[in-house]
Structure 1
């Protein structure tokens, strides 16, 4: 969300299942985040969302007024709030009414009611989650993000579990579990996906005379060309050589 605001996001997917920052989330959830938040949503189905940004100062003011004994809430890590379907539907409809006429200011009473409902839902949800579970989730996110960053920087090189353990300072079991829970992929699957995407980008952007499939595979960490071709076809629906031929045809047409 923009600086100085709190974002309220209602995600939805066709199958009602996806992961948000490693947590299982359904269509009966609200995600709250601020400008410092980094949000990853993983789903295998079509998805979308409704989102609104509220001034952070106003949100905090109402939180302190409604729940004076509640400790201050930080959204540096996105908070996933769950509720019943009817409750979510009512709040979502209220938000849609708020943004239906973007050229006009929302009624203060209407806006206040929406924030009140959101804050109440948030505090009640936090009460059902102990501090241990919140800390554990933050640690899981931190570890998963460390692994992701390492892979993004070193995917062209040899990436081993031992190397990842040295880079993150955690055990192999914790490493694999945290990553799988966060991204719904194994480290090996994610590494292969990153390498395939990078190879595809290069095959469609490099001049054919300057590249070959085998050279491209090696450049992006693949040492077995047959496996590379099979994985590439499964992901992009054509062989890497076909992509390169198509690129050559495009370059040829441009030269005429």
Structure 2
């Protein structure tokens, strides 16, 4: 792990420890002395935290904690696994209630993956947690490769995205994503261990290679009070 990543993680831990007690962070110089690193390293770590909407800076005044940083947040402009999103906020990612099996693609899945109806696909469902708390229930459908299911069961990786890239020696370049608000009802509510119906964000994502070929399709039910998405909108040029 790089010194910048270690510094970023240490600042996140500081924020969590002092949550609700302070609004303004110590100066770069104070953090550098506290963490035993250079001011330049602290400055770069804070830039990353600003981009991730965990802190914000006011020129000549200082760096401040964004309210609600105990909530996970991520940019829609960046392709990250759930494991990365959870880890970068200082939480321990977890995976529970895993079901992985071989299935035949129906018409919908065949269309999403660019394959034929009846072709074999890997079906994977699981609950992703942060420090043991449910965050998102995920269902993935991936193009089948020989031995993939057995390898997954043997290694039980946290990140399915990283697992697929490693197993198939592929690079997943981008996703085509659709988001809509839904309510946690019935089976999904049970999967997320919600006693009452809560607002969810439903993400449909087709993960593609650098050549635009669909590789796996996912349906994610995100507890909206646990995770927020940010997006940068620019004027047309």
TM-score (norm 2): 0.22
- Pick the structure with more helix per residue: 1
- State which structure, 1 or 2, has the greater radius of gyration over its C-alpha atoms: 1
- Pick the structure with more strand per residue: 2
TM-score (norm 1): 0.21
